Amino acid sequence: MQVSLIVLAAGKGTRMNSELPKVLHPLGGVPVLHHALSAGRSLQPSRIVVVTGHGAEAVAEAARSFDETIETVVQDPQLGTAHAVAQAAPLLSDTGGEALVLYGDTPFVTAETLQLMLEARANHAVVVLGFEPRDPGRYGRLVTQGDQLLRIVEYKDASDAERAIRLCNSGVVAAGMATLFRLVAKVGNANAAGEYYLTDIVELARAEGLSVGFVTCPEAETLGINTRAQLADAEARFQTARRAEALENGVTLTDPATTWFALDTVIGRDATIGPSVIFGPGVTVESGARIAGFCHLEGCHISRGATVGPFARLRPGAELAEDVHVGNFVEIKNAILDEGVKVGHLTYLGDAHVGAHTNIGAGTVTCNYDGVMKHRTTIGRNAFIGSDTMLVAPVTLGDHAMTASGSVITQDVPAEALAIARARQDNKPGLATRIMARLRAVKAARPK
């Protein structure tokens, strides 16, 4: 089945009280937009078109950061949801197959629900997603008869009997591509707002003698984000769901309430996650790894048997092989640590490759940035880097090499060599006492 997605993401989100388009506000470590795209991508769509408007360039960039093949089109002016869908017609009108209309600010619609909508298309020309909220409030109501959707009525236009209906409209629509664009082209704007509403295609389809059906989902899937409070509620819902999923999948969370996941976090069975661990985007943790408390991880891979933390930070490009140990107050960025490497504490390794079973002493720093460019440090197998070593990149240390504590290494170190790069110690007898006496005298002479 050929499926294309049309994702509406043109709204400004005035009630967010922000210059940032509402679909770009972070949820689970990524823009809200990415959640809708993630659910849709599970259907393996042949085309994805994101309709942008406010902050079009930034929204388009965010969409392409999710998938570089995503196409975007600008809705300007913004004249309603049917008008937004119509903007995608020049890109998709010759595509054929199925079309799904999603919303960039509705992050929780599941792949399973979207699949049900596509399956319902076997019996209906158009399928609308409905839900039954605890408080129907001012949602549009779905007027149904059996498995047929007769019309969608907005609350302000509904009779008392229609307002009593609990089945409400989510806005998500599935239809054949040609049918969708033909109906959208017929939508008028003879309403108080002067806008073109996608909901009007239901009655237009029925006027053509087409069957219109509906599929239902839990209210939580239709949660839209229009305010900061709704964004906070969405974050809480997302984290609760991901924590439950991790526990169900055999991950130990020692304090689930303080573990924060990103949309794409992957953790293997029998991994252990300590308290107050934050996963940014792009983190994979293999089975049996252990992350101690108060760590921040982003864009990194942690292999089986590795241990991290507490109070460690892994930044994008950090690759930890099996049985690597990264201890407290260690930061790793764009660095590969081979099997069995130990980095105990108080160290920064950036733009580096460390060979297997090498030990990195406390206070080691790879000096990788010269103010303009980044440079790489390469350390061989079974090396021993003494505490407080500054490795001034670009520099290479061979297998079984050592550095003396307190060294500043600016030249390559051959295999099995010991590098000492520090000033010779010179002791001055009695000088410490004389200096302290002089300083105390200066202080005593100062005005009170």
List pLDDT tens digits, range 281-335.
999 999 999 999 999 999 999 999 999 999 999 999 999 999 999 999 999 999 9
Q: Are residues 43 and 163 in the same domain?
A: yes
Tokens of 185: 């082209």
Give the position of tokens 């010269």. 370
Q: Evaluate if residue 355 carries a pLDDT over 80.
A: yes
Q: Evaluate if residue 106 carries a pLDDT over 90.
A: yes
Q: Are residues 203 and 137 in the same domain?
A: yes
Q: Are residues 272 and 369 in the same domain?
A: yes
Q: Is residue 286 part of a domain?
A: yes
Q: Are residues 140 and 37 in the same domain?
A: yes
pTM of the entire structure?
Answer: 0.90
Compute the CA torsion angle 327, 404, 353, 263 (nearest 10 deg): 20
Q: Is residue 410 part of a domain?
A: yes
Compute the CA torsion angle 160, 117, 27, 309 (nearest 10 deg): 140
pLDDT of 155: 86
In Å, how far are 106, 237, 276, 297, 343 from 240, measured between CA atoms? 17, 5, 15, 19, 33
Q: Evaluate if residue 201 carries a pLDDT over 80.
A: yes
Q: Is residue 148 part of a domain?
A: yes
Distance CA 322, CA 303 (A): 5
Q: Are residues 260 and 218 in the same domain?
A: no
Q: Are residues 215 and 108 in the same domain?
A: yes
Q: Are residues 181 and 271 in the same domain?
A: no
Q: Is residue 431 part of a domain?
A: no
Q: Evaluate if residue 13 carries a pLDDT over 90.
A: no
Structural domain range at position 49: 3-222
Domain count, the chain: 2
Model confidence at 190, in pLDDT bands (50, 70, 90)? confident
Tokens of 360: 């990195």
Report which DSSP code applies to 271. -
Q: Is residue 439 part of a domain?
A: no
Read off the CATH number of the domain in which 260 is found: 2.160.10.10
Q: Are residues 309 and 185 in the same domain?
A: no
Q: Are residues 142 and 169 in the same domain?
A: yes
Side-chain-side CA neighbours of 62 within 13 Å: the count stands at 27
Q: Is residue 376 part of a domain?
A: yes
Please write the tens of the pLDDT for every residue from 257-271.
999 999 999 999 999
Q: Point out the residues that are catalytic.
A: 345
